[in-house]
């Protein structure tokens, strides 16, 4: 490896080490300072939720400060009142459950009988032995043994008991108050905070960053506010349905369902467990339990398939795997609050990655859009010797896609990538052979996916297609022969093993109307120029086109080979150019073949 290569490897290693250290330090700080970051994250979430309501008041002439006070005050009143009702229901539930001890024991006995059977069974014995491992029965004391000596430790003092109760309560109250204060100041200073964010991430592109931040703020606010409204409606429907069914503590179960719906994918199914277990324990039959399950499952299906696509509009583009991983990550860092906030936090990070260049890696990690272009994914599958999936990628456009478009967009760029890797010795000769063979077969599939064109009556004009160097150019030349209209053209593809002198003899013997030299980048310019010079010196009036396809759509004239009539950057451009010349060819050249034309999609003649 050269000195420059070592320097690049060292720089990449430094970047990787720095990224690892920064990520570890960030996670450590988030966990260690969670008492600060949890209220901060909650304040950001509430700011996004309240911003549309504050803006609605402002558009109707209410001042910013008054609007913020009204919205936050209303939120505090609703939250406080609901919290008081829920606390009373929890207290009542804790008092009522012991009164249902007989029914609960009976239901558990019925469930045990249904699972283990009435009598003794091997499975029942296994279950009892496992239970003995986790909860062993105390051994019977020996009557002759002296009584054991029991040392009683003094219990905690009343001050210690008060402190153990008051400290967590004060921490929760302090964090809640801090979150509400932050929410108020973020709503009041929203523009100032936005400007500071732009200053940190703009890098001089103030206009672009301003538009990106404003768009991201609107999208996140609209998404989270809509999510709040939908979750509230979900909870109200649950409350109404359970109240009609006669389920006690319906308000408690609806609040649990509202909170758990913020947990992606699994939240609703976790929220249905408490009311299901409660009705199973306190009712005599199974009807009410089945009814509760039916209400939750039916409402969730309706929300997922009808209301969420309609209300959310365009998807935020969040990957399902990313949501679940984010839920586990934030739950590990911040506990239940982190689990609830995982969805909004992940959405905010995704939008940040979409609009700020330095955080683009977040879009790659969290987004659901393909991270590899089709041509790279196609080549990656071929490099992994997975021809089936590569074929699926190439055929993804369906039967309506033009083969030339698929070749230009997917297959030809993949061949260019293979040539580059082979030149860099990252792709061995056997692997390159597999790539070219598989590409040839997949190209045939793409051509055959297009319905055949019925034979026509036009004169067929002979065109000779010659690869400039190797098998990669050979495959591209064969693919080009497949995209030509067989009612007008008789393509003849020569092999890459043909020498320059032999190519000149073939041109003189077959007398084609045009010659297409296929030379895929990178490299090959000098050899292509040599071929063009030889052909032009021998046949000065022959139409000569060079196909330097796969150059990312670069247009232009004679950029690679002096003496050619034109140099095209895409296969479609070369076909269009030949189509424009066809009337002249058909009027001046004799017919190439007699009889019916071959249907489109049949392989071109390959001669040596």
Residues linked to residue 517 through DSSP beta bridges, in sequence order = 466, 546
Please state which architecture CATH assigns to domain 456-607: 3-Layer(aba) Sandwich (3.40)
At which residue do the structure tokens 């039967």 appear?
399
Q: What is the pLDDT of residue 236?
A: 93
Give the confidence band of 47 by pLDDT, cuts at 50, 70, 90. Answer: confident
Query: Of the ranges 265-269, 344-348, 571-575, which is most confident?
Result: 571-575
CATH annotation of 374-446: 1.10.1240
More confident position, 265 or 525:
525
Q: What is the pLDDT of residue 492?
A: 92
**Weakest-pLDDT range from 237-241, 482-486, 526-530, 585-589:** 585-589
Question: Does residue 272 sit in helix, strand or coil?
Answer: coil
Could you read off the pLDDT of 577-599 as tens digits, one per residue? 999 988 888 887 554 444 444 54
Instruction: Give 568's contacts (C-beta < 8 A, 6+ positions apart).
Output: 545, 546, 547, 548, 549, 574, 577
More confident position, 494 or 398:
494
- Stated as kind and residue range, the H or E segment containing 516 is strand 514-518
Q: Where are the domains of the chain?
A: 374-446, 456-607
Q: What is the pLDDT of residue 493?
A: 92
Q: What is the pLDDT of residue 372?
A: 81
C-alpha dist (Å) from residue 85 to 175, 208, 245, 383: 21, 48, 20, 62
Residues linked to residue 545 through DSSP beta bridges, in sequence order = 516, 566
What is the β-pairing status of strands 514-518 and 543-547?
parallel
Q: Do domains 374-446 and 456-607 have the same CATH topology?
A: no
Mean pLDDT of the chain: 80
Q: Which two tokens mark 233?
A: 């409606």
**Weakest-pLDDT range from 338-352, 420-434, 482-496, 500-514:** 338-352
Give the confidence band of 418 by pLDDT, cuts at 50, 70, 90. Answer: very high
pLDDT at 272 over 70: yes
Q: What's the start-to-end Cα distance of the chain, in Å?
A: 40
- Stated as kind and residue range, the H or E segment containing 397 is none
Give the confidence band of 112 by pLDDT, cuts at 50, 70, 90. Answer: low
Whole-angstrom Cα distance, residue 285 to residue 186?
A: 52
pTM of this prediction? 0.65
Could you read off the pLDDT of 554-567 as tens digits, one per residue? 444 444 446 888 88
pLDDT at 355 over 90: no
DSSP H helical ranges for 307-406:
308-312, 320-334, 336-355, 360-366, 374-383, 387-394, 403-406
**Weakest-pLDDT range from 1-10, 116-125, 191-200, 492-501:** 116-125
- Stated as kind and residue range, the H or E segment containing 546 is strand 543-547
C-alpha dist (Å) from residue 454 to 178, 352, 576, 596: 76, 53, 20, 10
Could you read off the pLDDT of 91-110 as tens digits, one per residue? 888 777 776 677 777 776 76
C-alpha dist (Å) from residue 546 to 477, 549, 589: 11, 9, 22
Nearest to 545 by CA among 563, 520, 530: 563
More confident position, 284 or 372:
372
Nearest to 415 by CA among 478, 369, 465, 464: 478
**Weakest-pLDDT range from 304-318, 463-477, 532-546:** 304-318
Instruction: Give 307's contacts (C-beta < 8 A, 6+ positions apart).
Output: 230
């Amino acid at each position: 490896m050269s000195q420059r290569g070592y320097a690049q490897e060292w720089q990449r290693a430094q970047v990787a080490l720095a990224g690892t250290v920064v990520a570890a330090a960030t996670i450590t700080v988030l966990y260690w300072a969670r008492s600060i970051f949890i209220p901060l994250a909650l304040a950001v979430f509430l700011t996004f939720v309240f911003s549309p309501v504050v803006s609605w008041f402002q558009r109707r002439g209410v001042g910013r400060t008054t609007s913020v006070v009204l919205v936050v005050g209303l939120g505090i009143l609703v939250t406080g009142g609901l919290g008081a009702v829920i606390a009373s229901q929890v207290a009542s539930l804790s008092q009522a459950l012991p009164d249902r001890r007989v029914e609960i024991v009976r239901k558990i006995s019925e469930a045990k009988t249904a699972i283990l059977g009435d009598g003794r069974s091997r499975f029942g014995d296994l279950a009892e032995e496992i239970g003995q491992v986790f909860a062993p029965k105390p051994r019977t004391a020996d009557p002759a043994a002296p009584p054991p000596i029991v040392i009683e430790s003094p219990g905690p003092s009343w001050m210690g008991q008060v402190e153990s109760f008051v400290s967590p309560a004060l921490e929760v109250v302090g964090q809640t108050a801090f979150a509400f204060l932050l929410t108020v100041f973020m709503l009041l200073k929203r523009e100032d905070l936005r400007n500071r964010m732009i200053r940190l991430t703009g890098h001089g592109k103030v206009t672009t960053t301003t538009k990106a931040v404003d768009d991201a703020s609107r999208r996140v606010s609209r998404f989270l506010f809509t999510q709040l409204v939908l979750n509230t409606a979900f909870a109200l429907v649950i409350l109404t349905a359970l109240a009609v069914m006669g389920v006690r503590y319906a308000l408690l179960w609806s609040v649990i369902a509202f909170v758990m719906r913020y947990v992606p994918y699994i939240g609703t199914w976790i929220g249905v467990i408490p009311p299901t277990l409660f009705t199973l324990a306190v009712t005599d039959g199974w009807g009410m339990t089945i009814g509760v399950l039916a209400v939750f499952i039916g409402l969730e299906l309706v929300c997922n398939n009808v209301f969420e696509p309609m209300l959310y509009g365009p998807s935020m583009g969040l990957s399902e795997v990313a949501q679940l991983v984010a839920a586990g990550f934030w739950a590990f860092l911040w506990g239940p609050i982190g689990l609830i906030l995982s969805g909004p936090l992940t959405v905010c990070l995704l939008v940040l990655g979409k609009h700020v260049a330095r955080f683009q890696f977040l879009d790659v990690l969290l987004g659901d859009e393909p991270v590899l272009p089709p041509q790279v994914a196609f080549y990656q599958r071929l490099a992994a010797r997975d021809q089936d999936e590569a074929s699926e990628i190439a055929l993804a456009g369906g039967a309506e896609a033009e083969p030339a478009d698929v070749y230009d967009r997917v297959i030809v760029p993949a061949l260019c990538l293979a040539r580059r890797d082979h030149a860099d010795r990252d792709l061995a000769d056997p692997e390159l052979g597999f790539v070219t063979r598989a590409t040839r077969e997949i190209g045939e599939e793409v051509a055959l996916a297009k319905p055949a064109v019925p034979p026509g009556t036009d004169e067929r004009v002979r065109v000779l297609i010659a690869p400039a160097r190797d098998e990669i150019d050979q495959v591209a030349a064969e693919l080009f022969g497949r995209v030509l209209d067989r009612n007008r053209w008789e393509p003849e593809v020569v092999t890459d093993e043909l020498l320059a002198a032999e190519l000149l003899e073939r041109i003189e013997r077959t007398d084609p109307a045009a010659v297409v030299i296929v030379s895929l980048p990178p490299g090959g310019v000098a050899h292509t120029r040599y071929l063009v010079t030889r052909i032009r010196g021998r046949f000065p009036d022959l139409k000569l086109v060079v196909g330097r396809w796969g150059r990312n759509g670069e247009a232009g004239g004679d950029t690679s080979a002096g003496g050619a009539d034109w140099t095209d950057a895409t296969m479609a451009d070369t076909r269009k150019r030949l189509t424009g010349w066809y009337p002249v060819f058909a009027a001046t050249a004799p017919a190439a073949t007699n009889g019916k034309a071959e249907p489109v999609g049949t392989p071109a003649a390959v001669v040596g």
